[in-house]
């Protein structure tokens, strides 16, 4: 019988006692206990990761999480993993450093996200507020194109990028995904709620169509833009399949691709790629904690009404 079983029995005993006293308190207690257990299960890998990146290579498997306080020293806990990670690695292109991959990832994720917001909101606004020939056909085409899994297009797209001479470069990676159909529908949805009178009034006052978009529509769809920005940034930052296929040379790779390579390279020294993994998790985590509400609304706005 392990400590876990003892703990479980203890919880059950408390539950039975509470049941005798009052049923409501007992269910409340059971609910909170279950939630806490689930939360512990979710948080355990993160805790383990934080411990693993600071533990010395030789002690990674000696302690499950952190070493006991009396064993804390620079021998058991140090920054050796990070030092190894930041040390340049020899490649065909000379020495490449970890920060170069971080830079690639940052450029790729920010540029792609920005372009996706601009182009998707423009198209979404046009679909929501204009009547023009071919609108229905275009909407149907967009809906249909969302049903096609992107993997189907990856092989011919790769062929095309090779023909265009854009293979193994960030532009080749960014240009094909500069506009997001999913984003267009999100922006269309939020543009529909802009009162027509507002746009008509601006038009009467002599505002050009581009100015209407920039000065009236954009400020009004800001909340949706923030939400979409988060969802898109996260997807781009963590993107693996396309970058893995499209990028080849060592100094052009993005973080997820590099970390996957390290998985094989540092098999005997896992702390190194775990340190890289932990660092890669930081930017999305910061964004998420700063803008949690917008994030959730961006995710669920397609599915949940009201």
Residue ranges in 64-123 that form contacts with other proteins under rule CB under 8 A: 64, 119-120, 122-123
Give the DSSP letter of residue 77: B
CB nearer other proteins, residue 22 or residue 95: 22
Residue 264 touches other proteins, criterion: CB under 8 A: yes
- Please report, as residue ranges, which positions from 221 to 260 form the binding site for other proteins (by CB under 8 A): 234, 237-238, 240-241, 245, 256, 259-260
Q: Which residue's entry shows tokens 């052009």? A: 252
Among 34, 107, 140, 192, the residue binding other proteins under the rule CB under 8 A is 34
Give the DSSP letter of residue 57: G
Would you state the torsion angle of the CA atoms of residues 145, 147, 149, 154, taken in this order, to the nearest 10 degrees? Answer: -10
Residue 61 touches other proteins, criterion: CB under 8 A: yes
Residue 6 touches other proteins, criterion: CB under 8 A: no
- Please report, as residue ranges, which positions from 122 to 141 form the binding site for other proteins (by CB under 8 A): 122-123, 125-127, 130-132, 135, 138, 141
Tokens at 170, concatenated = 């960030």
| C-beta neighbour count of 258 within 10 angstroms | 25
Among 102, 111, 281, 291, the residue binding other proteins under the rule CB under 8 A is 281
Rounded distance between C-alpha atoms, residue 274 and residue 51, angstroms:
10
Among the listed ranges 12-20, 68-76, 104-112, 295-303, the one in contact with other proteins (CB under 8 A) is: 295-303
Q: Which residue's entry shows tokens 């797209």? A: 157
Check if the beta carbon of residue 26 is closer than 8 Å to that of residue 19. yes
Closest separation in Å from C-beta 87 to other proteins: 20
Rounded distance between C-alpha atoms, residue 3 and residue 95, angstroms:
50
CB nearer other proteins, residue 94 or residue 149: 149
CB nearer other proteins, residue 250 or residue 280: 280
C-alpha distances in Å from residue 109, one per residue of 86, 229, 240, 292:
21, 10, 12, 19
CB nearer other proteins, residue 94 or residue 301: 301
Closest separation in Å from C-beta 156 to other proteins: 4
Task: Give the distance, in angstroms, between the CA of residue 153 and the centroid of all CA atoms in the same chain.
Answer: 22
Residue 306 touches other proteins, criterion: CB under 8 A: yes
Closest CA to 238 of 99, 121, 116, 108: 108
Backbone Cα Rg of the chain = 26
Among the listed ranges 14-22, 80-88, 104-112, 151-159, the one in contact with other proteins (CB under 8 A) is: 151-159
Residue 203 touches other proteins, criterion: CB under 8 A: yes
């Amino acid at each position: 019988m392990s400590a876990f079983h003892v703990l479980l029995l203890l919880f059950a005993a408390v539950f039975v006692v509470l049941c005798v006293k009052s049923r409501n308190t007992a269910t409340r207690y059971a609910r909170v206990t279950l939630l806490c257990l689930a939360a512990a299960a979710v948080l355990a890998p993160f805790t383990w990761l934080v411990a693993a990146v600071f533990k010395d290579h030789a002690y990674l498997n000696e302690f499950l999480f952190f070493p006991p306080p009396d064993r804390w020293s620079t021998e058991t806990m140090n920054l050796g993993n990070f030092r190894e990670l930041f040390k340049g690695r020899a490649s065909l292109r000379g020495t490449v450093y970890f920060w170069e991959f971080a830079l690639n990832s940052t450029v790729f994720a920010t540029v792609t996200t920005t372009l996706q917001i601009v182009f998707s909101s423009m198209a979404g606004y046009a679909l929501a507020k204009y009547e023009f020939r071919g609108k229905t056909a275009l909407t149907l085409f967009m809906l249909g194109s969302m049903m096609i899994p992107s993997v189907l297009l990856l092989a011919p797209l790769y062929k095309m990028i090779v023909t265009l001479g854009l293979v193994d470069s960030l532009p080749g990676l960014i240009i094909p995904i500069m506009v997001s159909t999913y984003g267009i529908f999100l922006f269309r949805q939020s543009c529909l709620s802009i009162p027509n009178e507002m746009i008509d009034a601006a038009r009467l006052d002599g505002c050009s169509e581009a100015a209407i978009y920039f000065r009236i529509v954009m400020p009004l769809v800001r909340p949706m833009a923030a939400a979409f920005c988060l969802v898109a940034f996260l997807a781009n930052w963590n993107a693996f399949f396309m970058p893995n296929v499209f990028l080849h040379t060592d100094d052009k790779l993005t973080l997820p691709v590099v970390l996957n390579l390290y998985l094989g390279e540092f098999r005997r020294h896992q702390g190194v790629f775990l340190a890289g993994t932990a660092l890669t998790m930081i930017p999305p985590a910061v964004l998420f904690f700063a803008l949690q509400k917008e994030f959730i609304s961006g995710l669920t706005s397609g599915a949940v009404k009201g």
